[in-house]
Amino acid sequence: MANPMQMQPTQKWAEEMDRQDQLASFRDEFYLKEGSIYLDGNSLGLLSRRAESTLQEVLASWREFGIDGWTEGEHAWFQLSERLGEKLAPLVGANPEEVIATGSTTVNLHQLLATFYQPKGNRMKLLADALTFPSDIYALKSHVRLHGLDMTEGLIQVESTDGHTIEEDALIEAMTDEVALIVLPSVLYRSGQLLDMKRLTQSAHERGILIGFDLCHSIGAIPHQLSEWGVDFAFWCNYKYLNAGPGSVGGLYVHRRHHGCLPGLAGWFGSAKEVQFDMDHTLQPASHAGAFQIGTPHILSLAPLLGSLDLFHEAGMEAIRRKSLSMTRYLMMLVETELLHKGFSFGNPMEDTRRGGHVCLIHDEAVRICKALKARGIVPDYRAPNVIRLAPISLYTSYTEVWEAIQQLKTIIENKEYEGFEKERGVVA
């Protein structure tokens, strides 16, 4: 690929990068709408032909085998979550037995909090940041209440100094001897800031505190080394960068040193497989991350992930991350060249080492600009009150599309097309 130092804000440069792109062939794997540029894959990834195929295969097994589909066929259902855990593990830098495909982001967080948040003595508090996704905070607060604590006793939220990012130094300073457990995002969902998970984990452990991460905005976009870093637990959805479909089954990771502990929320699918159908009223949990499953998995929502993950293994996370950084860097260059003098600013960190997979643009007219972009066939993501998120996806976005999207955005601003739209978001933003 061309030297990024030679990056030029031109269509010609973008087209040359597309010719050199080693991941370009993966575009053919996805259903791309003609006349549209999709830059919202950090919210919902597009359907791939592989994901569609494995969903059809699992549907066929239901049609052919009925109840015997649990043990028969290429994608037998009984250990499908474990099989997918093995395929997910390399994406988070974990051992296969440390990962399971199960639940949803918030359900998995509830499970992990129920297991690892055990306030006692002086250590009573949960530590989080003030910019994390609201659902995570709802879960944290519910567990504070379940332990009979008020929020001042049970929850610390580290504030941002700029409204967009969180300083690791501030998080570490808040790791006092009152903290029992830390839950942080790997990438902040609005600004795209990538936190230094290795440093934060080391700092937490030096202070005797367990720490876990929400990987919703990093899995499938950046490489991880959770086991090597010693992260205690993590949880995520699979429908953003991993393209497993709306509401697809999520995933969780638990470091092997915690295997053998009783899950806080017990259910029959957390049983050791060989005794699950003994129907004993005493749970014998699995000896691996499978112990943290609760109920019967949603097989049809697991199925697309089978095909989707094959694409990630073929492409390789290092190559995916290189292209992602290159495209977001290019997008930022175009914005700097064309739009910074037109009311835009960046909410995301500029450094590659601190940026996830999307670019965060700030503009007072963000909601109307997003509507105008959609009217022109550009699909962005809006976050109230003034954030436009743009996510070029390594497996299906081209450099030329990035260039074209910014030209369309420039036209919208210069012609004030956004003024033709109401300044209020839809129910779903």
- Helix, strand or coil for residue 101? strand
- 269 annotated ligand binder: no
Q: Are 214 and 186 in contact (CB under 8 A)?
A: yes
Residue 273 known to be catalytic: no
Integer angstrom CA distances of residue 132 from 44, 273, 332: 18, 36, 24
Residue 133 known to be catalytic: yes
**What does the alpha-carbon distance between residue 117 and residue 76 come to, in Å, rounded to a whole number?**
35
Choosing from 240, 355, 368, 371, which is the catalytic residue?
240
Residue 177 known to be catalytic: no
Q: Are 136 and 128 in contact (CB under 8 A)?
A: yes
pLDDT per residue as tens, the chain (429 positions): 445 458 999 999 999 999 999 999 999 999 999 999 999 999 999 999 999 999 999 999 999 999 999 999 999 999 999 999 999 999 999 999 999 999 999 999 999 999 999 999 999 999 999 999 999 999 999 999 999 999 999 999 999 999 999 999 999 999 999 999 999 999 999 999 999 999 999 999 999 999 999 999 999 999 999 999 999 999 999 999 999 999 999 999 999 999 999 999 999 999 999 999 999 999 999 999 999 999 999 999 999 999 999 999 999 999 999 999 999 999 999 999 999 989 999 999 999 999 999 999 999 999 999 999 999 999 999 999 999 999 999 999 999 999 999 999 999 999 999 999 998 877 777
- 399 annotated ligand binder: no
Choosing from 189, 239, 241, 418, which is the catalytic residue?
239
Q: Which pair of structure tokens corresponds to residue 237?
A: 């959805």
**What does the alpha-carbon distance between residue 358 and residue 267 come to, in Å, rounded to a whole number?**
37
pTM for this one? Answer: 0.96
Q: φ and ψ at 234, to 5 degrees? A: -155, 160
Tell me the domains of the chain and their CATH numbers: 4-30+316-420 (3.90.1150.10), 52-313 (3.40.640.10)
Closest CA to 268 of 297, 295, 298, 299: 295
SS (H, E, C) 39-108: CECCCCCCCEHHHHHHHHHHHHHHHHHHHHHHCCCCCCCCCHHHHHHHHHHHHHCCCHHHEEECCCHHHH
Residue 399 known to be catalytic: no
